[in-house]
Amino acid sequence: MNSNASQERPLPHIPVMVTEVLKYLNLQPNGIYLDGTIGAGGHATEILNRLSSNGKLIGIDRDAEALKICNALLGASARPLLTFQSSYHHFQKVLGQSGIPAVNGILLDLGLSSIQLDSDSRGFAFESNGKLDMRFDGHSGETAAELMARSSEKELADIIYQFGEERHSRRIARTIKSLPNLMTVADLKDAVRRSTPPRQRHKSLARVFQAIRIAVNGELDKLNAFLECFADYLTIGGRVVILSYHSLEDRMVKHTFRALKQSGILKIITKKPLVPSPEEQANNSRSRSAKLRVAERIA
């Protein structure tokens, strides 16, 4: 298949490190691939362009809005694509439903999409407006506002410190709990403003919003569940490509790859994580924190 769908209409999200992802997935035209975070279909568009009609791409995402855009972009054409609204850590169930015992490659892009970051109604970014929701699946689970309301000051401080690595975590948590009805992005920004020195406040805001988002969505638990079993569903010679965007995720991926290498199951392809080129970072500021790691199943 050699369609140019990626040029037919503009993508709502700029995918990160596309050239590197395609290179290291080592795509086979007739292969079966899993995009565990398909989102609006940025990477998927390019993967599908390299698959034949005998190949297949399984796409998973928790975000119904992003999946709707992806299906509108890619679903109309006669492409070997199946999409599912689910979390990537349930990929075994998805593959089972599809009658697929193993795949030739897995891609995970653990970053937020532009659709999520730019939404004023979802509260992912501190530059946005609106309510503090932060759920990937807007129809289940508690919102960020609900999580902060039910958490004790200590629990909130631990979340901000562990998931955001923010040294002012205790002071921020104390301020959050002192403010009644913390419901909006502006409310949380005000709590951080009251608790941190101005010189590093932008970084503190980024860390706090990251920490709350991770807690709301159980992101590290889901990544851990995936890392515990993904290798069992890769064919021999199949590759896993993971894009992470903060040190907590990258550390988990690195340690898992090393452990599976020592067990003789994986070969690590990237001795050090790859990062976007200076040109890509200049053209897409949201790619700057990305790190890409690749491993191949050998046994």
pLDDT over 90 for what percent of the chain? 77
Same domain? For 109 and 235 the reply is: yes
Same-domain check for residues 98 and 246: yes
pTM above 0.75, yes or no: yes
Within this chain, do residues 33 and 147 fall inside the same structural domain, yes or no?
Answer: no
CATH number of the domain encompassing residue 183: 1.10.150.170
Q: Which of 164, 194, 218 is the last residue of a domain?
A: 218
pLDDT at residue 127 is higher than 90: no
| Residue with the two structure tokens 């004790």 | 152
CB burial of residue 4 (10 Å; 0-12, 13-18, 19+): exposed
Question: Residue 187's domain spans which residues?
Answer: 119-218
Answer yes or no: are the C-beta atoms of 83 and 44 closer than 8 Å.
Answer: no
Q: Under 8 Å CB-to-CB from 45, ≥6 apart: which residues?
A: 5, 6, 11, 73, 74
- Going by the DSSP 8-state scheme, the letter that residue 112 receives in this structure is P
Query: In Å, how far from its chain's centre is CA 215?
Result: 14
* Whether residue 282 sits in one domain with residue 262: yes
Strands 32-35 and 56-61, by their bridges, are parallel
Shared domain check, 69 and 51: yes
- Phi then psi for residue 60, to 5 deg, are -125, 140
Task: Give the CATH number of the domain where residue 279 resides.
Answer: 3.40.50.150
Quick one: 100 and 63 in the same domain?
A: yes
Helices (H) and strands (E) in the chain, counts: 14, 7
What is the rounded CA–CA span in Å between residue 4 and residue 272?
A: 33
Q: What is the mean pLDDT of residues 265-271?
A: 97
- Could you give the CA distance from residue 118 to residue 292 in angstroms, rounded to a whole number? 24
Work out the burial of residue 198: count CB atoms within 10 Å of its CB; fewer than 13 is exposed, 13-18 middle, 19 or more buried: exposed
What is the pLDDT, as a whole number, of residue 113? Answer: 60
**Given pLDDT bands bounded at 50, 70 and 90, which one contains residue 2?**
very low
Q: Are residues 85 and 128 in the same domain?
A: no
Residues 65 and 86 in one domain: yes
Residue 276 in tokens:
């976007």
Do 10 and 99 share a domain, yes or no?
yes
User: Do 74 and 166 fall into the same domain?
Assistant: no
- pLDDT for the residue 125: 79
pLDDT of residue 65: 86
Domain count, the chain: 2
Each residue's pLDDT tens digit, 25-54 = 999 999 999 999 999 899 999 999 999 999
Task: Give CA torsion, residues 277, 283, 285, 289, to 10 deg.
Answer: -10
Buried b (16+ CB within 10 A) or exposed e, 267-285: bebbeebbbbeeebbeebe
244: three-class secondary structure by DSSP: strand
User: Which residue, of 190, 218, 246, is where some domain finishes?
Assistant: 218
Rounded Cα–Cα distance for residues 77 and 75 (Å): 6
The b/e string for 44-79 (b: 16+ C-beta within 10 A; e otherwise) is: bbbbbbbbeeebbbbbbbbbebbbebbbebbeeeeb
pLDDT tens per residue across span 172-225: 999 999 998 899 999 999 999 999 999 989 999 999 999 999 999 999 999 999
Residues 263, 134: one domain? no
Of 159, 189, 218, the one marking the end of a domain is 218
110 and 159 fall within a common domain:
no
